[in-house]
């Protein structure tokens, strides 16, 4: 082989090497470009998933905690629409991924055809076949972060909707109770309740259970009695109360329960004992309980310690105030003596 032939062969080999490097660079650029498009599509899908999770959790909250027919139907429709659109988004993402993959393979195929066309009639060293690797979307770590973000959004939206719209009751609530004890041990209890409610769903009433010998009345803020239907049970009476329009004032419910309680206090060895209990489940409640002893009664003890005051007529007042803890039982015990009742007992 002459020197000229050797130079020509070296030039052809160098040209083939440079062309191979250029083609490899083009293949990497094509793969990177379409992988970037796929990652962008997947991120759009995850953002839409976050929106669906937020709206879906809100709808489920309303559906699970409301008893209004219109609210239930509306929530069910929203849930079905979100489910359907989520399925469509999955199909869209699968179609987008397939489209990106086909376009990438077509571009690489065109590069390969161009390389073969230029190589016709030229002796080259055998090269390894081109490897068509699948496109990579978001990394495994990023997908896990998106899943965690969906969980955080679901928890945050669930808590926020329940607190903002006060779903299922609860919210800010307070009671102010006045217990007036008589010398014979009977008592009249007046409990004024103020609680928030959701303007999205306004309750129509509630059920109250009381012993059979109690007299129960429910008054609205105007002092008018609210309708009550009494159902007899084995040991108690169930009072089904229907709210009137005047109960709802400035976004809050206000009503007063008046109970006539015979034998509220027990007499033993000349000492009267009165117990008042309180237990609230599901939410916190501010409470104030004022207990008026009978005229001329002498306070012996109060458990726990109460704020004690005596008015101008010599009547003793005791007051308990605080905020309940969820599902905790509170018991207030008052012991006192009534001079007239002690004389009759002897």
Residue 17: per-residue pLDDT: 57
> pLDDT at position 164, please?
59
Task: Return d(Cα 102, Cα 201) in angstroms, integer.
Answer: 52
Q: Please report, in tens digits, the pLDDT of each residue of the chain (346 residues total).
A: 566 556 656 655 655 555 555 556 656 666 677 777 788 888 888 888 888 888 888 888 777 766 567 777 888 898 899 888 888 888 888 888 888 888 777 777 776 666 666 655 444 444 444 454 556 667 788 878 888 888 888 888 777 766 655 555 445 689 999 999 999 999 999 999 998 776 566 778 888 989 988 999 999 999 999 999 999 887 789 999 999 989 988 778 899 999 999 999 999 999 999 999 888 876 788 999 999 999 889 999 999 999 999 888 888 999 999 998 878 899 999 999 997 544 444 3
Question: Is the distance from CB of 206 to CB of 238 less than 8 angstroms?
Answer: no
What was the pLDDT predicted at 49? 87
For 66, other C-beta atoms within 10 Å of its C-beta total 19
CB atoms within 10 A of CB 79: 16
Token pair in block for residue 287: 């409470």
Q: In the prediction, which pLDDT does 156 show? A: 80
Q: Quick one: pLDDT at residue 34? A: 74
Q: 260-289, pLDDT tens digit by residue?
A: 999 999 999 999 999 998 888 767 889 999
How many CA atoms does the CB half-sphere of 275 hold within 13 Å?
A: 7
| Dihedral of alpha carbons 320, 323, 325, 327, sign | positive
* pLDDT at residue number 215: 92
Q: What is the pLDDT of residue 343?
A: 41
Q: Cα angle at 274 between 182 and 259, to 5 degrees? A: 60
CA distances to 78, 87, 111, 147, 163 from 153, rounded to whole Å, are 18, 20, 45, 10, 15
Q: Which pair of structure tokens corresponds to residue 253? A: 């419910």
Give the separation between CA 316 and CA 271, rounded to whole angstroms: 16
pTM of the predicted structure, to 2 decimals: 0.55
Positive or negative: CA dihedral 136, 138, 142, 143 = negative
| 288 DSSP β-pair partners | 176, 321
Which residue has 């429910």 as its token pair? Answer: 218
pLDDT for 284 equals: 81
């Amino acid at each position: 082989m002459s020197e000229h032939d050797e130079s020509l062969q070296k030039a052809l080999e160098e040209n083939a090497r440079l062309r191979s490097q250029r083609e490899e660079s083009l293949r990497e650029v094509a793969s990177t470009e379409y992988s970037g498009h796929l990652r962008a599509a997947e991120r759009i899908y995850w953002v839409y998933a976050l929106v669906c999770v937020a709206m879906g959790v809100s709808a489920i909250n309303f559906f699970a905690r409301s008893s209004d027919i219109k609210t239930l139907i509306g929530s069910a429709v929203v849930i079905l629409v979100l489910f359907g659109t989520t399925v469509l988004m999955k199909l869209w993402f699968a179609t987008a991924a397939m489209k990106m993959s086909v376009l990438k393979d077509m571009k690489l195929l065109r590069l390969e055809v161009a390389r073969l066309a230029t190589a016709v009639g030229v002796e080259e060293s055998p090269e390894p076949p081109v490897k068509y690797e699948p496109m990579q979307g978001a990394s495994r770590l990023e997908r896990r972060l998106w899943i965690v973000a969906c969980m955080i959004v679901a928890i945050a939206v669930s808590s926020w909707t329940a607190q903002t719209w006060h779903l299922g009751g609860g919210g800010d609530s307070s009671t102010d109770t006045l217990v007036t004890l008589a010398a014979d041990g009977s008592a009249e209890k007046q409990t004024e309740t103020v609680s928030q409610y959701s303007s999205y769903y306004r309750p129509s009433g509630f059920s109250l259970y009381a012993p059979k010998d109690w007299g129960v009345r429910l008054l609205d803020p105007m002092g008018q009695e609210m309708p009550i239907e009494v159902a007899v049970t084995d040991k108690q009476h169930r009072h089904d109360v229907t709210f009137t329009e005047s109960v709802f004032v400035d976004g809050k419910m206000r009503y007063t329960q008046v109970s006539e309680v015979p034998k509220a206090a027990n007499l033993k060895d000349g000492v009267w004992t009165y117990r008042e209990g309180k237990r609230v489940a599901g939410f916190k409640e501010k409470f104030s309980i004022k207990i008026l002893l009978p005229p001329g009664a002498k306070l012996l003890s109060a458990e726990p310690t109460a704020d004690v005051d005596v008015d101008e007529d010599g009547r003793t007042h005791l007051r308990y105030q605080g905020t309940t803890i969820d599902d905790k039982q509170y018991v207030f015990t008052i012991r006192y003596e009534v001079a007239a009742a002690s004389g009759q007992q002897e």
